[in-house]
Structure 1
Amino acid sequence: MASLDKSKLRTPKLMKVGRKEAIMIANGDERRSANLVCWPGQVEMEKQLTAAFEELGWKLTRAHRYDPEMQHGFIESQAQGDEIFDRIPKDCVLVVAESVWQYSNMVAYRLWEHRGPILIASNFDGAAPGLVGALGLEACLTKHKYARNQKGHSMIWSSEEFLDKASKKNLAAFLRTGKIKYNIRHAKKLENISPGKYKKAVDFGKALGQYLQVKRARLGVFDPLCMGMLNAAFDEEVMVNTGISIRRLNQSDLYAEMQTIPKDRGLVHIRKLEKWGMKVDRGADFATKVTDDQLAEQGQMYEAILRFAKREGLACVGIPYQLGLARLCAASDLPEAMLNSTQRPPVEYEGEVLFPGEPVMCANEADMGCGVDQIMSKMVLQGMGISPETTQHDVRWGERYAGRYDGKKVDIDAFVWVFELSGNTPAEHVRGGWKGVTAVRQPHMYFHKGGAATKCICKAGEIVWSRVYVDQGVLSMDLGRGGVVDLPDEETERRWKATTEEWPIAHTILYGVSRDALMAKHKSNHITIHYAPNAETATQAMFAKAGMAKAMGMKVYVCGNYAVADSVESKLAKGKPIIEK
């Protein structure tokens, strides 16, 4: 009989955790360049958080030290994360402190298994993407259905070094009860709302949802995960009975298809955009300027994706790019913007022009929550006879703005979000269309192979915002109304400088949804938006999409205010100040 020797199964020694002591980890980016840039901000934020704990009589202890070889103290791989968690008692109070974009996959499994209370903490700062990372991680944990013996997770954020009254109150509540309860009364279940005059819109949406279950749509995903966003990667089973199927594809096949397209042909597609008025920040320095070689690769990618969409009959595509293609070719962001635009270069393949006169929905970073939403939005908008372009943005940052609406004799006193993502914004969402776009080099820190981002200012107008996500295994949607506003050029520049100035920016006011209300309820680092020609039509589209989501089996929450009188459009027309608490 074989020897059954258990003596070699030696488990790591657990950390000793005292009374009123919490353990802290700092999950990071897989890209060392990003971790190095964000490390000084992380050090400062941890000092602030430690002081906040000490004020309440608690000790905050780091589970892992600064690594002199890596020159930072972030977790940088899933293997490293596992080694750290091997030593953390599962019942301790655990804090995940974030001032960097973080790859959730490196810690999510161990957080799903943790029994003690978990607190995700982030500074509310545009310069460091910790806010975006914290939202992404919180959404990953929301996917999971905790067991009865688990305390679950909460989130805290602060723009005032955790010294503000709300942060102190929330942190004290967490340390006392293991939970922070936020006011989310702005979010109401669709079935608890009387849609009134919008009942026909709800019924129209339900009809679309029922039709989709008969005539299915396919969401093509070129590899399932981008930058650790487990929240954005849906399993097949959660899509059952929605009417949307997932078609799994590979980025390797996409890259191979790109090689069948001559580079000069790829560059022709970009030249078309320049003919329409797009400006290009060209130069010889590969690290800081856009080159024709980069643009040619982006044109190749644009055509290759259209070919796949045609062959597979796809209603939407998603490309992770990071990591994978990022080591091979220029960025996917400009091709994604082209695909999402109705005005885009025509591509002829096997004797026909592919998808003439319409956008091909494309979810940046292969975010399937955005992809599902974009498929739905296109059906709703086309059914209403509205221009069907959609896009997604990072919920990047924001500040209260008290000043003049640019070009109008109307004042604004409202929290104005900076919605901003590296690309995929369609020309129809841009002030001036393609003439308002400048193709600038993507930041070398994230994009070593280069490629153009579409730097632009999103046009003013009425929007519907939304998010599809998984809540404890159940597909769900939050949606509401808002307006993109024009701010003075100097304020736009200030906000760009405070975030990422190479990327599209949308100055957005959400109706009846405060900063903290969105942070407390929104289940993603991303948000999907589309425009409508006026406030009344936008609200109709919102209710239609809500009805469609309900017919597809989702939990649906309508957020904030949606009356026409609450819209930016209405206040501008009446010369009233735009005020949001």
Structure 2
Amino acid sequence: MASKVAVFWPGDYRSKPNEWARPQFEEARARLFAALQSLGRVPYLVEGPLTRPGEAIERLGPIDDPMIGLFVHWAYAPHTVDGVVGKSNPLLLASNFSGTWPGLVALLNTAASLESVGRAASRIWTDADDWTADRSFMDRLAEWCETGRIEENCSELHDHCTIPDAAETLAHRVLDGIHARRVLALMLGDTSMGMINGYFGPRVLAPLGFSEHKVDQAWLLERVGLVDDRRVEDAFRFVTDRGVTFHWGEPDAEDFTEAATREQLRGYLAVLDLAREFQADCIGWQYQLGLLKLLPPSDFAEGLLNSHARPEGDGHPLITATEADQGNLVPMELMKRLLEAKGLPGAVMFHDVRWGAEHDGRFLWVLLNSGSCSAFAFNLDVDSLAGVHSYRQPSGYFPVPGGTFAGVSQPGKITWSRAWLDRQGQPVLDVGRGESVALPEQVRESWWRGTTRQWPFMAADLGCSKETIMAHYMSNHVAVAYGDIFAELIALGRAMGFRVRILARDHLS
């Protein structure tokens, strides 16, 4: 491989996050340059950060040298993908393994987006202060420098699992229901923040038994004005009576008030009205960035929609995927139906794979996302909103005041999943099982404050190694449910036409 290596910085669309992350980038760039130079390579920096697709096309398109994208905070996938798609020069995605700035989250999203458009790339990461001292990292970097790719360990990826007859029967019962009435997803906009991997469209969805109906989320600007104040007051009483704790007017949240929460509930009711009007089974809600300066954050509404206990509800969650991510929406809806068919609560949580660390001899992932978690995770009670805390969304990202739907996830066995598209455009369903783990308070607070304290928290053993997730997982998002529907979900996915990929430490018979 050529000795010269181009290093580029994929950025956020918004200027503030790029400014905040610049010190992390400069630190990581120096460490990466030192690592490359120790291997006899000559790194050079592409002007950045890349904050628009056009910048990626202009600055990365002409480069034929091997390239490394360095991810130190959230970055939009097009700020890499659009500059490298259609090219074949070696491409490596690198990240500092840090939860403070979600660079590894952006790496996972970009890797999955590249896969969906057929562009090969390898991945590499480290949490070392001196990258040259991380032997595993250096061995992998040397392999890429020599060959242009990194051969990954695939021992925890499985395509076979024996399914009990009872699981097959239940899966086909759920599939019969989908065949009787196909699933209608109400899409309030398309995927947000450059999530190329999160959009499937009718050509993929239709054979799976799903349909999408798109409603421009600009409709909400009108629809919130049609919601009667009495309904808002009833909804406000409902959430307070059921146990939500609101952190109004706290330091750095002085503009977060009861009025802000009422406006979030008005948005919840407007979306509920749209779902009823179009007889939708589930919802994908873009929100960011189009409504960012126009309406309060959607997160509190998304959390309510995914909860059993919700204003004007029917006792069941109305599955909602934040950021209009169909790669999570589809498995979330399937998991809900399987849970309920098995007599279990149909709550499914939407999370980012944010960061992780060792605790008591095993690696645990910190899962958290600003929206779309269910209250069930915090209390395991379908009739309550106890354990839900609503903090002001950080003003640097969300200028209009509004609250989150946060809490500490309860311990228990979990099933998790994600849908994605391979290089041929075929749908794949990842399935795994693991455990939500209760951490000592001091450990939990340290991990939580090292990420985003205002967002819902789960410490999870995903049943496979950190290396398998970082090297092979095809998303920054994951759908998580309490209870064992592992075999049923595999059977249902196969029957629907997915290629099912199982991520597990142990060989499955």
1:569 aligns with none
Contact 1:213–1:241 (Cα < 8 Å) also in 2: no
- Partner of 2:404, secondary structure, is strand
How many Å apart are 1:31 and its aligned residue? 1.2
1:60 aligns with 43
| Cα distance per residue 1:243-299 (max 9 Å; x no partner) | 001111111112311111145632531332111121111128785552122112210
- Partner of 2:85, secondary structure, is helix
Hey, what's the Cα distance between the residues in 2 that align with 1:105 and 1:563?
Answer: 37
1:486 aligns with 438
- Partner of 2:405, secondary structure, is strand
Hey, what's the Cα distance between the residues in 2 that align with 1:417 and 1:464?
Answer: 14
Opposite residue 560 of structure 1, the aligned amino acid is A
Q: How does 1:548-567 map to 2 (within 5 A)?
A: 548-560=492-504
In structure 2, the CA distance between the partners of 1:261 and 1:563, relative to structure 1 (3 Å rule), is farther
Q: How does 1:526-537 map to 2 (within 5 A)?
A: 526-532=477-483
1:35 aligns with 18
Q: How does 1:112-511 map to 2 (within 5 A)?
A: 112-146=85-119, 152-161=120-129, 162=131, 163-189=133-159, 192-195=160-163, 198-263=164-229, 265-283=231-249, 287-346=253-312, 356-402=314-360, 413-431=361-379, 434-472=385-423, 473-511=425-463
In structure 2, the CA distance between the partners of 1:330 and 1:286, relative to structure 1 (3 Å rule), is farther
Contact 2:299–2:372 (Cα < 8 Å) also in 1: yes
Residue 522 of structure 1: which of 456, 473, 486 is its match?
473
Contact 2:170–2:342 (Cα < 8 Å) also in 1: no
Is 109-118 or 519-528 further displaced after alignment? 109-118
How many Å apart are 1:184 and its aligned residue? 2.1
2:58 aligns with 83
Hey, what's the Cα distance between the residues in 2 that align with 1:331 and 1:479?
Answer: 30
Hey, what's the Cα distance between the residues in 2 that align with 1:262 and 1:225?
Answer: 30
TM-score (norm 2): 0.95
In structure 2, the CA distance between the partners of 1:20 and 1:286, relative to structure 1 (3 Å rule), is closer
Opposite residue 497 of structure 1, the aligned amino acid is R
- Partner of 1:399, secondary structure, is strand
Opposite residue 140 of structure 1, the aligned amino acid is S
Contact 1:317–1:371 (Cα < 8 Å) also in 2: yes
Opposite residue 411 of structure 2, the aligned amino acid is A
Hey, what's the Cα distance between the residues in 2 that align with 1:37 and 1:431?
Answer: 35
Opposite residue 323 of structure 1, the aligned amino acid is L
1:546 aligns with 490
Contact 2:248–2:254 (Cα < 8 Å) also in 1: no
Contact 2:190–2:286 (Cα < 8 Å) also in 1: yes
- Partner of 1:208, secondary structure, is helix
Contact 1:266–1:298 (Cα < 8 Å) also in 2: no
Contact 1:26–1:98 (Cα < 8 Å) also in 2: yes
In structure 2, the CA distance between the partners of 1:265 and 1:133, relative to structure 1 (3 Å rule), is same
Contact 2:156–2:507 (Cα < 8 Å) also in 1: no
- Partner of 1:453, secondary structure, is coil
In structure 2, the CA distance between the partners of 1:92 and 1:207, relative to structure 1 (3 Å rule), is farther
Contact 2:2–2:65 (Cα < 8 Å) also in 1: no
Contact 2:4–2:41 (Cα < 8 Å) also in 1: yes
Hey, what's the Cα distance between the residues in 1 that align with 2:455 and 2:506?
Answer: 29
Counting aligned pairs with the same residue, the percent is 28
Hey, what's the Cα distance between the residues in 2 that align with 1:175 and 1:563?
Answer: 32
Contact 2:57–2:84 (Cα < 8 Å) also in 1: no
Opposite residue 395 of structure 1, the aligned amino acid is V
Is 77-86 or 465-474 further displaced after alignment? 77-86
Contact 1:126–1:499 (Cα < 8 Å) also in 2: yes
Opposite residue 345 of structure 1, the aligned amino acid is P
How many Å apart are 1:455 and its aligned residue? 2.6
Hey, what's the Cα distance between the residues in 2 that align with 1:422 and 1:167?
Answer: 31
Q: Which has the larger radius of gyration?
A: 1
Hey, what's the Cα distance between the residues in 2 that align with 1:270 and 1:157?
Answer: 45
TM-score (norm 1): 0.83
Opposite residue 547 of structure 1, the aligned amino acid is A
Contact 2:53–2:82 (Cα < 8 Å) also in 1: no
Hey, what's the Cα distance between the residues in 2 that align with 1:291 and 1:509?
Answer: 37
| Cα distance per residue 1:118-163 (max 9 Å; x no partner) | 10111110111111011000010110235xxxxx211111111433
Opposite residue 459 of structure 2, the aligned amino acid is H
Hey, what's the Cα distance between the residues in 1 that align with 2:111 and 2:233?
Answer: 41
Hey, what's the Cα distance between the residues in 2 that align with 1:178 and 1:440?
Answer: 45
In structure 2, the CA distance between the partners of 1:561 and 1:171, relative to structure 1 (3 Å rule), is closer
Is 211-220 or 366-375 further displaced after alignment? 211-220
| Cα distance per residue 1:435-457 (max 9 Å; x no partner) | 21221100111111121012310
Opposite residue 377 of structure 2, the aligned amino acid is H
> Stretches of 4+ moved more than 3 A in 1?
262-265, 284-289, 561-564
Hey, what's the Cα distance between the residues in 2 that align with 1:294 and 1:553?
Answer: 44
In structure 2, the CA distance between the partners of 1:288 and 1:59, relative to structure 1 (3 Å rule), is farther
**Number of corresponding residues:** 502
Contact 1:425–1:504 (Cα < 8 Å) also in 2: yes
Contact 1:288–1:443 (Cα < 8 Å) also in 2: no
Contact 1:436–1:457 (Cα < 8 Å) also in 2: yes
Opposite residue 361 of structure 1, the aligned amino acid is I
Q: Which runs of 5+ in 2 are unaligned?
A: none
- Partner of 2:113, secondary structure, is helix
- Partner of 2:308, secondary structure, is coil
| Cα distance per residue 1:394-451 (max 9 Å; x no partner) | 000010013xxxxxxxxxx211110011122111111475221221100111111121
Is 105-114 or 223-232 further displaced after alignment? 105-114
- Partner of 1:503, secondary structure, is coil
1:111 aligns with 84
- Partner of 2:101, secondary structure, is coil
